[in-house]
């Protein structure tokens, strides 16, 4: 029997499992791009505090979780950027103010359609932007399948061992 794969909106009760999945996905995704020591030093308590701040408030952020049965195996989140984005030095893209700030899925659950479902839950067909590690060819290829292309903006994250990122944008997509 095939397990039930689903996507739903994240809620405050998801904080602990989201923190675990976020850390594990982060380690799987950035293995080979960041040092083993950097990946091992990631603190689960930091991820839990971040998710608690995002979800345990009167108006939680827009975030979704992918589930296998009842177990969270990934997430996505979007935000409307302010005119001057404090996360990156580059000016806002021409694609509008909607940004996919994260989409992570455990390696064991990639290729099952959950990534597409997480992307669609957060963005629908809207114009949007995202930042992706410049050396993450799999993620870049995934986003290209959904209309995203690099726009030339780049950034470096000093606290992540100077990890280089590129911005990808897409125009509004035709409704299916």
Residue 42 CA, chain-centre distance (Å), reads 17
Residue 160: which domain range?
5-170
Contact 75, 66 (CB under 8 A): yes
For the record, the structure tokens of 166 come out as: 């590129």
In a domain, residue 10? The reply is yes
Q: Is the dihedral of CA 4, 9, 11, 14 positive or negative?
A: positive
In a domain, residue 148? The reply is yes
Kindly report the backbone phi and psi dihedral angles of residue 158, in degrees, each rounded to the nearest multiple of 5, phi listed first: -55, -40
Can you tell me whether residue 145 is helix, strand or coil? coil
In a domain, residue 29? The reply is yes
In a domain, residue 151? The reply is yes
Residue 121: which residues within 8 A CB-CB, separation 6 or more? 7, 9, 64, 76
When divided into structural domains, the chain yields a total of 1
Contact 92, 49 (CB under 8 A): no
The CATH number linked to 59 is 3.40.630.30
Mean pLDDT computed over every residue of the chain: 91
CA dist 45 and 31 (Å) reads 20
In a domain, residue 175? The reply is no
What local confidence, expressed as pLDDT, does residue 80 receive? 86
What local confidence, expressed as pLDDT, does residue 1 receive? 39
Q: Is the pLDDT of residue 99 over 60?
A: yes
For the record, the structure tokens of 38 come out as: 């950097």
In a domain, residue 134? The reply is yes
What is each CA distance from 125 to 128, 166, 176, in whole angstroms?
9, 21, 9
In a domain, residue 103? The reply is yes
Please, which pLDDT band fits residue 159 given cuts at 50, 70 and 90? very high
């Amino acid at each position: 029997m095939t397990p039930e794969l689903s996507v739903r909106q994240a809620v405050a009760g998801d904080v602990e499992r989201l923190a675990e999945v976020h850390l594990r996905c982060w380690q799987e995704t950035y293995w080979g791009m960041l040092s083993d020591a950097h990946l091992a030093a990631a603190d689960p308590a930091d991820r839990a505090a971040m998710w608690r701040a995002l979800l345990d408030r009167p108006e939680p952020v827009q975030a979704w979780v992918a589930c296998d049965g009842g177990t969270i195996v990934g997430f996505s989140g979007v935000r409307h950027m302010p005119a001057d984005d404090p996360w990156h030095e580059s000016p806002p893209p021409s694609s509008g103010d909607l940004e996919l700030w994260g989409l992570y899925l455990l390696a064991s659950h990639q290729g099952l359609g959950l990534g597409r479902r997480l992307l669609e839950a957060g963005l629908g067909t809207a114009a949007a932007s995202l930042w992706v590690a410049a050396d993450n060819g799999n993620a870049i290829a995934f986003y290209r399948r959904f209309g995203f292309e690099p726009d030339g903006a780049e950034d470096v994250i000093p606290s992540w061992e100077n990890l280089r990122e590129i911005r990808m944008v897409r125009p509004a997509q035709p409704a299916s």
